[in-house]
Structure 1
Amino acid sequence: MAPSPPQTWTADIGLRIRRHFALKVIGVTVFTWLFFIGYFHMLRHPDFAVTVMPLTALDHLIPFQPQALAAYFSLWLYVGIAPGLQLSFRELVVYGLWVGALCLTGLGLFHYWPTQVPLAAPTSDFPGFALLQGVDAPGNACPSMHVAVAMFTAIRIHDVLRHARTPVFVRLLNWLWFAAIAWSTLAIKQHVVLDALAGALLGIAFALPSLRWRPGPQRVTRAVLGRADIIPHR
């Protein structure tokens, strides 16, 4: 019997997206909704004195760019990609536990050390900007959970793309998207540099252990008539 042809990276990624698709969409939506309940409660009802984050020289050099709001909002699409690429139900659940621990840690930091950016934030008539400032007050600043979750997502997406043997440009696009999100937090003045750096470190602190303590990552070896054989990575 002739050996099966090697599985292409596009078929691998396609199968990952299709598996448990409805569960992934519902899970990410519910998880985000629950996070925002805690986030906005702490934003509006801090239990301790609020610290104003200092500006660095780099903050003064970064111009206000309201058009970066598009990249800022794109996080809510970006964060669904990594869980969407988990192949098995067990991988998906463990991924959720890790990112849940990340978010709970961030909320805990906001509770015991509430922070905010300087209040003199610029205004703009760019579409959606007034809505953002009306809903998301300048609190819960450090660490930037926008950057923390984006960093966690970028590392986990890169891991899947590497195992699927995607072309380098696909992996580069992943990191460019992360960079755009991180930059946007500074460009629209929702965060300062120290917030973004702390967020990046928080994301790394959870992403790297999540790659070690998880179910053995799996890959698709071949697909025949809509069925796929899955074996652990070596």
Structure 2
Amino acid sequence: MAAQTDWAGELWRGFKAHFWLKMLCAWLLALGFFPCYFLLLKAPLWPVTWMPVTAPDRWIGFWPDSLWLYVSLWVYVPLAPGLLTDRRELTDYYRAMVALSLSGLAVFLLWPTASPRPPIDWMQHPPFGPIIAADDVGNALPSLHAAFAVFSAIWLDRLLRRIGAPLWLRIANVCWGLGILYSTIATRQHVAVDIAAGSALGWLAAMLHARWLRSRRPAFGKPANSE
């Protein structure tokens, strides 16, 4: 019973474990990723392919208030590694994140893409200013915003199951991840095909990483109260 009811304590223990190592890994990943991302964004090597606007893009209206969901990715992504207690598992996790990042960057390098932004007067929406100024319409497919969200959602669910967290918390995790995917279209930062490709990349990375971990540790992913 203790394993079923002490999930909050397990979350706190995970947050405290290897705190500075987690901070260092996150900063190193960011320092390696963003310069490459913006270099490919500003100076593509090949002609840029424009992504099509499809039915889901027309169904989902522009909702500027969803910007908070869009930027919440940068809180969401650190949650899963932030709750890990095993140093080796933490290292393996960041290796998977590096592989995911390199996969997306390789696509941007070999096949530059861009997503059309609708004729919105962005001056009427000041919170969008920094995003519009920094993140141009390129590096569209796959959407790494979607890829990181899906990868993080899958990993958070595994960790929550492992510590015996309640169902409502797992549902909240899924809703947050889906909200981020929705916001990438509702804020007009991506189109639906970008999201589909990014989601597929994030799911594939999570599945391959889990399979690799199970080959090394057969007990990987089992709930804390399982035999």
TM-score, normalised to structure 1, is 0.88
**Does the 8 Å CA contact 2:159/2:221 hold for their aligned counterparts?**
no
Distance 1:63 1:188, change over 3 A: same
Query: What is the CA deviation profile of residues 107-132 of structure 1, one whole-angstrom value per residue up to 9, with x for unaligned ones?
Result: 00001011001144523333420111
What is the CA–CA distance in structure 2 between the aligned matches of 1:38 and 1:130, rounded to whole Å?
22
Distance 1:174 1:218, change over 3 A: closer
What is the CA–CA distance in structure 2 between the aligned matches of 1:69 and 1:13, rounded to whole Å?
28
**% of aligned pairs identical?**
37
Tell me, yes or no, if structure 1 residue 56 matches structure 2 residue 54: yes
**Does the 8 Å CA contact 1:64/1:122 hold for their aligned counterparts?**
no
What is the CA–CA distance in structure 1 between the aligned matches of 2:52 and 2:39, rounded to whole Å?
24
TM-score, normalised to structure 2, is 0.91
Structure 1 counterpart of 2:23, which letter?
Answer: V
RMSD between superposed Cα atoms in Å: 2.0
What is the CA–CA distance in structure 1 between the aligned matches of 2:108 and 2:67, rounded to whole Å?
23
Partner of 1:226: none
5+ residue gaps, structure 1, are 222-230
Distance 1:90 1:60, change over 3 A: same
Which structure is larger by alpha-carbon Rg, 1 or 2?
1
**Does the 8 Å CA contact 1:67/1:126 hold for their aligned counterparts?**
no
Greater share of residues in helix: 2
Partner of 1:103: 101
Partner of 1:145: 144
Pairwise CA distance, 1:69:
0.9
Partner SS for 2:2:
coil
5+ residue gaps, structure 2, are none
Runs of 4+ in structure 1 off by over 4 angstroms are 218-221
Structure 2 counterpart of 1:204, which letter?
Answer: W
What is the CA–CA distance in structure 1 between the aligned matches of 2:119 and 2:15, rounded to whole Å?
40
Answer with 56-65 or 114-123: which moved more. Answer: 114-123
Aligned length: 220
Partner SS for 1:47:
coil
Partner SS for 1:166:
coil
